[in-house]
Chains A and B, each alone.
Chain A
Amino acid sequence: MESQLTLDPNQVDEHLIQQAQNGDLEAFNELVVRHERAVYGVCLRLLRDATQAEDATQDAFIRAWNAIGSFRGGLVRPWLLRIATNRTYDLLRAKARRPAQSLDAQPYEIEPDWTSMAPVTEHPESFVERSELSVHLERALADLPDDQRLAIILSDVQGYAYDDIATIMDVAVGTVKSRISRARSRLRTSLQENPVNRELLLRYGRLNRESPDGH
């Protein structure tokens, strides 16, 4: 597999999915390893329930394996995310039908774990700011309507373009655009509502002003 290190990740995916389409479960499981974090992350942030997110993720991969013949080229991760979010939406709808359970079902708090990401290139102060802010950001995300939450997660957390998000969510690009805009504005507003967070955001902004943002 050393030669694959030099390959474009999408080419590796393409190769693996071809093998999986020929019934190679090991190749499919390599795809699982490559994409499970992203799929689980989206499911968890949508469902706010670790057990349900786990079930939805496993179910999505089983569905993907059973439907592997219907994969018609393109990128693998959006295809997987589409399967996973369809499943997740079913669960969200079922959840909405029985709101009585919301008493014992406390929204799952995602505690951002920064240990795996060494802040070598980052200003130490900025790192502290970012860590603090992200806890609040995860909470603010949880308060968004489902559609806006999924759109902003796919766009800003996963880094997808509007076109891809429209495909994953099966809506028009214009809808994606307005959902993202509303979600981002709401997140900004919820961060600024709290004076402590507003201060953190200002400082974080000052510390990162000089660094290019790719735009």
Chain B
Amino acid sequence: MQTTAHPGDDLLNGWIDDALTPGERTMVESHLEHCDRCRTELESLRLVKRLLAELPEPDLPRSFALTVEQAKKPESPAATVQPAKIVTLLPIVRALSIAAVMAVIIMGGALFFGPIGDSQDPPEMTVSRSAVTNSAVDASENANPAPIAAEPGMVIDQGETATNSNTVPAAMANGIQQVNGNNGEERSNLEIATIATGAFAAIAVGAWVSLYRLGRNVPDQ
């Protein structure tokens, strides 16, 4: 084994910390066997490590246990960004939702009062498309609780006046069937339109409810 070169502090410190490769270790150890200088060196480094290990931890100035007040604040940067985002998107969400509710009302009114024939098809398309938009909005964003609470109520109120019944959309469908019951072809069209409107109304109400919940939950987290 060649032991001419002194290992140097890196290897000696590595030996102390047991962080050498087997090859390095053998080299250092065989050198140490006959080099007093490196043994002294190693010993002094080991003493430093030992002294450091024996340093007492400084006294605590006080307890760092969190008070309820300190534990309450979720104002980390990550948490503050989200409500800000919600606030900027609120007008869009609100406008979309109002449009959706208006569509339901108009659709409901048209189904009930108007002599509906072929004109049903385009609204049906519009309905399903805006329903998709609305549920996408629901999935991705949150909204403010106050206006949300009011508007599902609006949908139900309108439905009730229109159908003189208690539930939407089943009652709406019944009412429509009673009025237009004698025309077979129109009825099937009507049924499709009614189901679509009912489904849309359900989605709209569901969207509002989940938006309302999310809007409530965000500040509490």
Contacts and interface: CB of A to CB of B under 8 A. Distances in A.
A110 B58 contact: yes
A188 B16 CA distance: 14
B17 A180 contact: yes
B44 A188 contact: yes
A66 interface: yes
B66 A177 contact: no
Contacts of B51: 130, 133-134, 137, 204
Contacts of A63: 76
Given A25-B68, A28-B66, A41-B57, A181 B9 contact: yes
A156 B44 contact: no
Interface string A129-162: 0100110011000000000000011011101001
B71 A25 contact: yes
A65 B47 CA distance: 38
A169 B62 CA distance: 27
B14 interface: yes
Interface stretch (A3-11, A29-37, A86-94): A29-37
Interface residues of A, number: 58
A205 B57 contact: no
Nearest to B13: A181
Given A66-B74, A191-B48, A192-B44, A113 B59 contact: yes
A112 B62 contact: no
Interface stretch (A50-58, A71-79, A98-106): A50-58
Contacts of A134: 51, 54-55
Majority DSSP secondary structure for residues of A touching B: helix
Contacts of B65: 29, 32-33, 36
Nearest to A30: B65
B48 A184 contact: yes
A114 B14 contact: no
Given A184-B45, A205-B47, A117 B57 contact: no
Contact of A54 (B14, B45, B56, B61): B61
Given A137-B52, A177-B19, A181-B14, A50 B61 contact: yes
B43 A205 contact: yes
Contacts of B95: none
A62 interface: yes
A214 to B, nearest CB: 10
A133 B56 CA distance: 13
B37 interface: no
A51 B17 CA distance: 34
Nearest to A159: B53
B71 A65 contact: yes
Contact of B58 (A41, A66, A159): A41
A29 B66 contact: yes
A114 B55 CA distance: 9
Interface string B19-37: 1000000000000000000
B61 A156 contact: no
B48 to A, nearest CB: 5
A134 B57 CA distance: 12
Given A177-B14, A181-B9, A201-B44, A208 B50 contact: yes
A29 B63 CA distance: 10
A18 B63 CA distance: 22
B66 A62 contact: yes
Interface in B66-91: 66, 68, 70-71, 73-74, 76, 79
Nearest to A116: B56
Interface of B: 9-10, 13-14, 16-19, 43-66, 68, 70-71, 73-74, 76, 79
The 8 closest A-B pairs by CB, nearest first: A156-B52, A181-B13, A29-B65, A41-B57, A185-B9, A36-B64, A37-B57, A181-B10
Given A36-B63, A37-B57, A178-B10, 10 more contacts: A38-B57, A66-B73, A66-B74, A66-B76, A66-B79, A112-B55, A156-B53, A157-B52, A162-B17, A177-B10
8 contacts: A41-B58, A61-B66, A113-B59, A133-B51, A134-B51, A188-B45, A205-B43, A205-B47
